[in-house]
């Protein structure tokens, strides 16, 4: 079951596996945001599907390449979302016939049937409104985790929103910079979405765009200095005078809009019946080995949980390893060992649960190569790809790709400085980035 980036890779990798295991692979329809009680009074709009009108991919094209599928339709270094969509459609064409589109997964339950267990999934056809229950041996969840917006609790936030409907928003609901024409805007957060949205908004809004952040990001020097103003995190909002006070005591008045680019809660409502649960307060996903395998029932896995990653190769590596596990070619550690791994990770992130799955460089690269190593140790089997035995091999990030990943923030900054001229960029060398092979 899937929606978003990993679906095509999940389908292609598990297709041969599905011939021997009854595994679901379905496209999910829209669902509304689940807001926590403290923010349920806010007037956020319903979720709209689709992409930001001027959105561009956040990573260099060649960092996104999937194995055995060339970048024939990606011309620009940082391609627009239309090119990414086309690439995924081409890649997933061979499994499209196996996908049930416009199908919402309502519940996933583990059912005991005599001395055996299976997964029972209840689905809703969004066109016919009919429901059905189907049994499966394994479930791979590739639905993403960008559905339930996270907005921090700030004094005066709800009151400000009530006084000025539409003044408080989240990047989830952003579509067009023209909605902010002539307005005084504060963007909260300066990670990928915050940088991209503030740059777009600045073309039509009052200047400077005020960017509230806890800590500065690596964006390539003073590229924002001409149109933005950096301030610390928000301490309080006051409806009277449309005031926003920051942690350093600075106050901005007559603020029209505050856009939160503060990420998302983890939310898998169709897994509510699991015990122990994967999600409680939404800060992170629990009971997962290597951020992927449900420890209690390893025939359930969730792809793409980590953040600050390059999604395509990351998901490709995860799915490749899971295919080997479920086909019996690779083995997991014991349940006790998997729990020890999670306990160690919890101790490491104690008090920082929101960053439990955050993998900034080089952690993401190391993870990809770790799972590649796990997959390499799998048993060979006649009839598979790569010499007829090894099967589809997950990515391995060599010295060049490691360098490319490290340069990503600077590549984005250099591309952004070019404005519309960036559409003419075809190579990293044109942006001034040259890879020199490492020498011992």
Judgement on whether residues 171 and 290 belong to the same structural domain of the protein: no
Which of 41-55, 173-187, 390-404 is predicted most confidently?
A: 173-187
Q: Are residues 344 and 386 in the same domain?
A: yes
Boundary-marking domain end, from 230, 260, 290 = 260
Report if residue 437 sits inside a domain.
no
Considering the domain boundaries, does residue 24 fall inside one? Answer: yes
Specify if 413 maps to a domain: no
How many CB atoms sit inside 10 A of residue 308's CB? 14
Which one of 206, 237, 260 terminates a domain? Answer: 260
Residues 381 and 330 in one domain: yes
Domain encompassing residue 314: 7-148+268-401
Which residues fall within 8 angstroms of residue 412, CB to CB, at 6 or more apart? 58, 59, 78, 195, 219, 220
Note the pLDDT of residue 76. 52
The answer to whether residues 212 and 255 belong to one domain is yes
What confidence score (pLDDT) does residue 17 get? 43
CA 129/CA 74 separation, integer angstroms: 38
Residue 2 has pLDDT above 60, yes or no: no
pTM: 0.81
Domain presence at residue 375: yes
Last residue in a domain, options 260, 285, 319 = 260
Q: How far apart are CA 286 and CA 356, in angstroms?
A: 10
Q: Do 165 and 130 belong to one domain? A: no
Q: Do 382 and 294 belong to one domain?
A: yes
Looking at the structure, tell me whether residues 138 and 44 fall in a common domain.
yes
Number of structural domains, the chain?
2
Please check whether residues 141 and 195 belong to one and the same domain.
Answer: no
pLDDT in tens, 144-197: 888 899 999 999 999 999 999 999 999 999 999 999 999 999 999 977 788 889
> Do residues 293 and 369 both lie within one domain?
yes
Q: What percent of the chain has pLDDT over 90?
A: 58
Provide the CATH number for the domain around residue 90: 3.50.50.60
Interatomic CA distance for residues 267 and 260, integer angstroms: 19
> What HEC string does the chain produce?
CECCCCHHHHHHHHHHHHCCCCCCCEECCCCCCCCCHHHCCCCCCCCCCCCCCCCECCCCHHHCCECCECCCCCCCCCCEHHHHHHHHHHHCHHHHHHCECCEEEEEEEEEEECCEEEEEEEEEECCCCCEEEEEECCEEEECCCCCEECCCCCCCHHHHHHHCCCCEEEHHHCCCHHHHCCCCEEEECCCHHHHHHHHHHCCCCCCCEEEECCCCCCCCCCCCCCCEEEECCEEEEECCCCEEEECCCCEECCCCEEEECCCEECCCHHHCCCCCCCCCCCCCCCCEECCCEECCCCCEEECCCCECCCHHHHHHHHHHHHHHHHCCCCCCCCHHHHHHHHHHHHHHCCCCHHHCCECCCCHHHHHHHHHHHHHHCCCCCCCCCHHHHCCCCCCCCCHHHHHHHHHHHHHHHHHHHCHHHHHHCCCCHHHCCCCCCCCC
Check whether residue 186 and residue 301 sit in a common domain: no
295-327 residue pLDDT tens = 999 999 999 999 989 888 999 999 999 999 999
pLDDT > 70? residue 4: no
**Over the stretch 128-149, which tens digit does the pLDDT of each residue have?**
999 999 999 999 999 988 889 9
* Percent over 70 (pLDDT), the chain: 79
Are both 140 and 156 inside the same structural domain? no
Q: Are residues 65 and 134 in the same domain?
A: yes
């Amino acid at each position: 079951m899937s929606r978003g980036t990993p679906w095509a890779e999940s389908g292609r990798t598990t297709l041969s596996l599905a011939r021997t295991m009854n595994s679901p692979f379905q496209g999910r329809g829209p669902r509304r945001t689940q807001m926590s009680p403290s923010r349920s009074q806010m007037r956020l709009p319903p979720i709209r599907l689709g992409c930001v009108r001027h959105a561009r991919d956040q990573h260099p094209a060649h960092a996104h390449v999937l194995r055995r599928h060339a970048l024939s339709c990606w011309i620009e270094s940082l391609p627009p979302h239309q090119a990414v969509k086309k690439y995924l459609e081409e890649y997933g064409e061979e499994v499209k016939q196996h996908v049930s589109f416009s199908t919402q997964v309502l519940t996933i339950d583990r059912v005991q049937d005599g001395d055996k267990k299976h997964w029972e999934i209840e689905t809703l056809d969004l066109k016919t409104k009919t429901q059905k229950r189907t049994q499966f041996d394994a479930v791979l969840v590739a639905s993403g985790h960008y559905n339930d917006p996270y907005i921090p609790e700030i004094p005066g936030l709800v009151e400000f929103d009530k006084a000025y409907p539409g003044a408080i928003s989240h990047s989830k609901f952003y579509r067009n910079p023209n909605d902010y024409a002539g307005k005084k805007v504060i963007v909260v957060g300066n990670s990928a979405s915050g940088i991209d949205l503030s740059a777009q908004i600045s073309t039509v809004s009052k200047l400077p765009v005020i960017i509230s952040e806890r800590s500065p990001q690596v964006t390539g020097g003073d590229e924002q200095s001409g149109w933005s103003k950096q301030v610390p995190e928000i301490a309080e909002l006051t409806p009277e005078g449309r005031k926003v006070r920051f942690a350093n005591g600075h106050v901005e008045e007559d603020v029209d809009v505050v856009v939160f680019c503060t990420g998302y809660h983890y939310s898998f409502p169709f897994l509510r019946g699991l015990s122990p649960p994967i999600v409680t307060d939404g800060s992170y996903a629990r009971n997962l080995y290597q951020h992927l395998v449900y420890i209690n029932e390893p025939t359930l896995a969730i792809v793409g949980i980590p953040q600050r990653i390059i999604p395509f190769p990351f998901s490709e590596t995860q799915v490749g390893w899971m295919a080997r596990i479920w086909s019996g070619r690779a083995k997991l550690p014991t349940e006790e060992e998997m729990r020890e791994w999670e306990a160690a990770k919890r101790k490491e992130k104690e008090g920082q649960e929101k960053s439990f799955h955050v993998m900034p460089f080089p952690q993401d690269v190391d993870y990809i190569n770790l799972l590649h190593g796990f997959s390499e140790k799998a048993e060979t089997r006649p009839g598979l790809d790569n010499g007829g035995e090894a099967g589809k091999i997950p990515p391995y990030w060599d010295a060049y790709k490691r360098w490319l990943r490290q340069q990503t923030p600077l590549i984005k900054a250099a591309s952004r400085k070019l404005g519309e001229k960036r559409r003419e960029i075809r190579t990293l060398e044109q942006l001034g980035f040259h890879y020199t092979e490492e020498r011992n």
